[in-house]
Each structure stands twice: as C-alpha cells, then as structure tokens.
Structure 1
Amino acid sequence: MTLLHLAPADLDRRGATHTAREIAHQPRVWSTVQALVQRQRAPLDAFLRPLLALPDLRIVLTGAGSSAFIGQCLAPALLQQLGARPGLRVEAIATTDIVSNPAQCLQPGVPTLLVSFARSGNSPESLAAVELADATVADCHHLAVTCAAEGTLARRLGDRDRARVLLLPDETHDRAFAMTSSFTGMLLAAAWAFEMALPPVEALGAAAQALLDAEADRLSALSDEGFDRLVVLGSNGLQGLAREAALKMLELTDGQWVALADSPLGFRHGPKTVLNDRTLVLMLLSNDSYTRRYDLDLLRELRRQGRGRVIALSTSALNADQALAADDVLLNLPANAPDLGLAPVALVFAQCLSLLASLKLGITPDNPSASGTVTRVVSGVTIHPLP
C-alpha cells in the first residue's frame, strides 16, 4: 500500500505504517460499515423507533476527545431531521463534562437516549458517564457505537435490556495513536443507524479516493512551506469536524503546530489574532445556501487581508465573483449534499496534511508523543464517587 507517494518500507521506517493504512483504507471501510448497519437494521429499528416516538425524548451524543467531536458533527443534522417537537432535544455533551458535572448535564425526570462513541470503550470517562446516567436518569437508554468487541463499554452494555451496542468492523479499530478511520467509521455508522440523509456510500468512497489520488502533490507542498499554525473553520456540524481536524494536527505534530478550530462567524471575535505569515487556514464551506453566505464573507475577508494562506474545501465552484482559488480543494460530491456528507471526505484531507506535517518534523505518527504526555487510551483519570 502507498499513500501520498510514500512507499510501505518508508512508512514502516518512519513509524507511520498504521496511521497511513488507517487513513488510506477509509473509502473501502465505509462500505463495510454501511453493510454492517444494514444487517443490524431490524434490531436497531426495534430499539430506536419507540424511543424516537417519545415526544419529550432527550438524545445526548457523548464521547471524549475525538469521540466527543463525532457528536458535535451529528447533533445539528439529527435535530433537523427529527423535526420540531416541543419537548425533543438533541445535544452533544462530552463525557468529560458529564463526569465532572453530572447534575448540570443529566436530567433525572427526562427520558434520555445516551449515544456513546468510543474507539476502545476503555476510557474511564466513557464508562463513568454510562454509570452516572443510569444512576441519575430514571428512564435512561444507551446506544454504544464502538470499534472494540473486547472493550469494557461493549461488554457492560451488551446484555442490558435498555441498551444496544453497534459494534463496528475490526478495520475501524485504529492501531495508531490518532483516531482516523475509527472517527469516520463511527460518524457514518451513527448517521446510518438514525437513517440520516447522506450521499450514497459509493459516492463518499469515490470522493475520498479521488482526493487521496489527486491531492498528494498539493499536500506535500503544503507540508514543505514552513507553516506552524493551523486554523480550521466550519459552520454548524462542520464546526465539530473542524475541531477534530485541528486536534489531528496537534496530536500528530506532538504540539509543534498550534491548531485552533472555530466557526467562520466566531473567528472574528478574538481568535482571528492567531493569524500570521506561518498560518494555514482550512475553510470547510457549507452546502447550506444561507450558511454559505457567511462562510464566503469570511473567505473574502481573509484573502483580502492576506495574513496566512487560506484554502477552501468545497463541493462546487463558487459564484463567478468568488471563484475557487488555484489551490482550493474541490470535493467530488454533489453541490446539494448535506454538510454531514462533506464531513468524512473533508476530514481525509486534514488527516493527510497532519500525517505529512508529522513526518516533516521527524515525528513517528503511530506514536507521536515522545514524552508520553498523552496516551492512546487516556490514563491518570480518577473517578470520584458522587457526594
């Protein structure tokens, strides 16, 4: 397997074999994930449909780190899909917030579906959030989306009456430090489980593969240009994706790149001061025609001011008065694709950029934290008993 013109022997020598493979195999793995969800359709429907019919249901999408950002990508689109019902809520709340502030995150008298995203299912906060929800909420149900059959989360919820485990194929269980195929796999699995609108999986895979094939030279050139700051901007659910993209750069460069994520409108309110000549800005342009106006306003502003280099990722050429620049990235997806469909394809670009930046710095991407400051499964967390 080669990725971005990097040969297998070179990847192995530089400690990048797992990361590269797990980025590269995503277009194929997505089809496997969808087939798995389709096989699980009947039991998923039996579990989800009675809950989704509850007029006052609260859906909490949760996880820690990258897994929390999956919920942030999904929440706006899921709420829109389920429609305006006075008592219905869809919220993305990190397990790290639930564990430290259960009284402010959980509502005892409200029927709740806790959707937990977990690559390994062994993070202390993921396990504690489930137990706190059960202890606090009288009518609590669980959907766990995880990549590890042997993980504690899957084992604990596997035989509970009010729980369902959606176990992804083993290919999604990343062996590298950073979440890549596990992130996109869990994102898409949950979207398909809730029957959310997406382009066909063949179109998603083809767009990601076309990007991997066509953008190697551009990505390599960007990694050679001396940037050490990354800003990723996205609106609505794409803001969650922006946070994941920024985290990938921070993780894989062992903190040597400063990485920040925000919304296009929010970026003007202070965070814009991060821009300098060594800043690379990735703008994830929304396909929502109204939201896109605000995205384009900032894109024009940033290019006019000329601080840093700005690359837009878009599914279509822009209007004649704001054509895509030569180094913008055109995603091979329909111009009317929902933003949730843009997310996994656009993330492949950011993952590749982070991998190349890591290699450029002489870091081993499969295990980038030379000091051991961070670990693949978080450690050092004490779960304190409730008072």
Structure 2
Amino acid sequence: MTDTYQEVHQQPAVWRETAAMLASRSTRIGEFLEPILAQPDLRIVLTGAGTSAFAGQILAPALSRALRRRVEAIATTDIVSNPQEMFAENVPTLLVSFARSGDSPESVAAAELAVACLRSVHQLVITCNADGQLARKHAADPSALVLLMPPATNDRGFAMTSSFTSMLLTAWLILAPQQDLQLADQLATATERLLARADELTQYATRRYERIVYLGSGPLGGLARESALKLLELTAGQVVSYHDTPLGFRHGPKAVLDERTLAVVYLSNDPYTRQYDQDIATELRAAIGADNVLVVDAQSGDGDSALQIEGAYGVNDTLLALPYVVIAQLLALGFSVALGRTPDNPFPDGEVNRVVQGVTIHPLRS
C-alpha cells in the first residue's frame, strides 16, 4: 500500500480530527478573528502555491458571499513576482496562508511582502508542518495565528491530498459565519461511503484515456483546477488534463475533445448554477458518448448522474468539494498505477519536487 493511497483513504478520519482540534481552540480562534473581521474595510486574501492556491480559489467565491465582503484568492507565486500590484490597495488585510510544508520559498516571502507593503496586516497560517518556516516564524507573532492540522496531514506522498482537504475544511469552518462543526462528520460519513465504492472508478483507468477534462462552476471551478493538477502530478504528465467552467468550456477549450477524452462534470448543489452544469453534461454526452462522461452529483433522483455522493445533499459547494476531490484523487491514483508510475514519487529523477526548489527570492526595492 502506498503512502498516497493511505493519505487519500484517511481523509474522513482526518476531517473529524480537524473538527475536534478547532473545537478545542475555538476560544483562541474567536479572540483572534472577531476583531479583525469586524473591520468594515477589511480585505481577505487567501494564498498558497499550486494545490494550496486552489484551496483559496474554491473558498473565495463562497466566503465572499457568506461574509458579504471582498475575499480574493491570490497565489503566493503572483504575490512574490508582483507584490506592489497584488497589495496596491493599502487597506487592513487578513492574509490567510495555506501551506503543507510551510517551507516553499514563495510561502515565506509572500507573508513577508505583505508586511512590507501594507500598513495593517494580520496573518492566519493554516499548515500541516509544525517545523516549517511559516509556522515557526509566526508562532510568537501577536498579529498572527498558526493553526496546525493533524500530523497525519503532512502528506509523505508527492501530491497533496489530506493536507489539501483538511486546510480547506478548516478555513471554511472558522471564516464562514455560524458553521456547525458537525458538518465535518457529515462529510466524513459521505466520503467513507464513496471510498467503499472506489472500485467503480477503476474502469476509467483501464480505458487508457489520453485526455481528461474537469468542469465545475463557482467554487467547483477551483476544484476542477485541482483535479486536473492531481492527474498531471500522479501520471507525471502522461495523461493530459484540462479544467474549465461549464460555460467557459464552449468558448474555445471544447476543441480539446476527441475520442480518447474523459469528461468529468461536477454538479453544483446550488439549484440555479446546476442548470448550467447539467446543460454541459448533456452536450458532452452527445459529443463524445455517455460512457466517456462522468457526472458527479450529491443529489438523488437525477437520472443523469453517473456517481452520486450520498449524504452531501444541501451542503455549500465549497464543502461539497471535499468528497468531490476524493474522486479526482482516486482517478489520479488509478491512472498512475495503470501507467506503471509510482504514485508516491512520480518524478524519481527530481524534475518536479514535493517542496519546490530552485526559486530565488529577489529583494523588493521601492
């Protein structure tokens, strides 16, 4: 059994452990966040690199709606290369950093650049590594709060799996107003049922698809991007993956479809949005055949659904991304094994590394 396999399958247990940790620290979390969130002109920036950046992309649309304020997802890679543009508006800012290791050069530099560019900044560090630079640097900072995920989330495998979902869950539960920590148990139970049916996804890996397209709307657009990255990572680029929104896909990217393409459509729980998701699913079935379209849904009674996530009906699309992404992780694992790759280390020659290397952080000159 590979580490990656274990880390995918441990996620329900990790989510329950994460919720218990948040409950135990609820007083400290409230003391830190409540005065910050009370600022009427506060800007919230969600940041990270790669998969950690996509956590922000999933969260930002729904958090903006829930908090009725501006919430933006900006990758650390964009902050580091263009800090004066990313922090052009000098307003009170809460920088929320997602980091598995906390040792990526851009993660550390983005936090420092926020302080250099802004007159008022607080930092919320959500990380899986107590020994990482990001955690150690901000542990004693009165303007910062470090939230450590359960130790098992510091994935040993190459790809981020349980680290990603635990950090995403944490941010939603503490930043979105009036959240019930029992949601973690509900999602864990739904995902346990899904994992018990993991073999249903094996058939797709055996079909030797050359391309996979992931489509999702709103928060699920960020999920589509993360899904595409998981496949690229675990197959070392041998299976090409694409991502888009259902409406955006028609505007050119649809040209990627051919007879060796699998399309995965994530259906929203929002009744208005899901109409567009269902429309593209119907169109794709007509274009490439129903057998080549995997529709993922949390609602029952929809005859178009190929795979239903039981027990996730009605949850916000941000949280729906948790069981949905497990499907993408399982597909990536299946394709990796089918291609003879090693999921824990798909790049044995070091072309791509678990913690990014080779980045030079240049000094900022005003």
TM-score (normalised: structure 2): 0.96
Q: Which of 192, 195, 210 is matched with 1:212 structurally? A: 195
- Please give the per-residue CA displacement for 1:229-269, whole angstroms capped at 9, x wherever unaligned: 11111101111111111100000000001011111011111
- Alpha-carbon distance in 2 for matches of 1:187, 1:181: 10
Q: CA deviation at 1:195?
A: 4.2
Q: CA deviation at 1:202?
A: 1.9
1:269 alignment partner, SS class:
coil
- Alpha-carbon distance in 2 for matches of 1:251, 1:125: 20
Partner amino acid, structure 1, of 2:230: K
Partner of 1:119: 100
Partner of 1:254: 236
- Please give the per-residue CA displacement for 1:134-163, whole angstroms capped at 9, x wherever unaligned: 000000110000000000000001111110
Q: Which of 35, 51, 58 is matched with 1:50 structurally? A: 35
Partner of 2:55: 70
- Alpha-carbon distance in 1 for matches of 2:274, 2:325: 19
2:310 alignment partner, SS class:
coil
- Alpha-carbon distance in 2 for matches of 1:336, 1:169: 27
Partner amino acid, structure 1, of 2:300: A
Q: Which of 264, 270, 279 is matched with 1:297 structurally? A: 279
2:272 alignment partner, SS class:
helix
Q: CA deviation at 1:366?
A: 0.3
RMSD of equivalent CA atoms: 1.4
Q: CA deviation at 1:61?
A: 0.1
Pairs aligned (count): 362
Identity level (%): 51
Q: Which of 230, 240, 247 is matched with 2:212 structurally? A: 230
1:200 alignment partner, SS class:
helix
Q: Which of 133, 138, 160 is matched with 2:114 structurally? A: 133
- 8 Å contact 1:317–1:330 — kept in the other structure? yes
- 8 Å contact 2:190–2:323 — kept in the other structure? yes
Q: How does 1:79-228 map to 2 (within 5 A)?
A: 79-83=64-68, 88-107=69-88, 109-195=90-176, 197=179, 200-216=183-199, 218-228=200-210
Q: CA deviation at 1:376?
A: 0.3
Structure 2: state its 5+ residue gaps.
Answer: none
- Alpha-carbon distance in 1 for matches of 2:264, 2:204: 12
Which segment drifts farther, 251-260 or 294-303? 294-303
Partner amino acid, structure 2, of 1:368: P
Q: Which of 293, 316, 340 is matched with 1:338 structurally? A: 316
Q: CA deviation at 1:164?
A: 0.4
- 8 Å contact 1:317–1:324 — kept in the other structure? no
- 8 Å contact 1:333–1:342 — kept in the other structure? no
1:60 alignment partner, SS class:
strand
Q: CA deviation at 1:333?
A: 2.5
Structure 1: state its 5+ residue gaps.
Answer: 1-10, 12-16
- Alpha-carbon distance in 1 for matches of 2:273, 2:239: 29
Q: Which of 338, 344, 347 is matched with 1:360 structurally? A: 338
- 8 Å contact 2:187–2:312 — kept in the other structure? no
Runs (4+) of structure 1 exceeding 6 A deviation are none
Whether 2:296 is the aligned partner of 1:313: answer yes
Partner of 1:329: 307
Q: How does 1:265-280 map to 2 (within 5 A)?
A: 265-280=247-262
Q: How does 1:19-38 map to 2 (within 5 A)?
A: 19-38=4-23
1:373 alignment partner, SS class:
coil
Which segment drifts farther, 367-376 or 194-203? 194-203
Partner of 2:362: 384
- 8 Å contact 2:48–2:107 — kept in the other structure? yes
Q: CA deviation at 1:109?
A: 2.3
1:289 alignment partner, SS class:
coil
Q: CA deviation at 1:191?
A: 1.1
- 8 Å contact 1:251–1:368 — kept in the other structure? yes
- 8 Å contact 2:263–2:284 — kept in the other structure? no
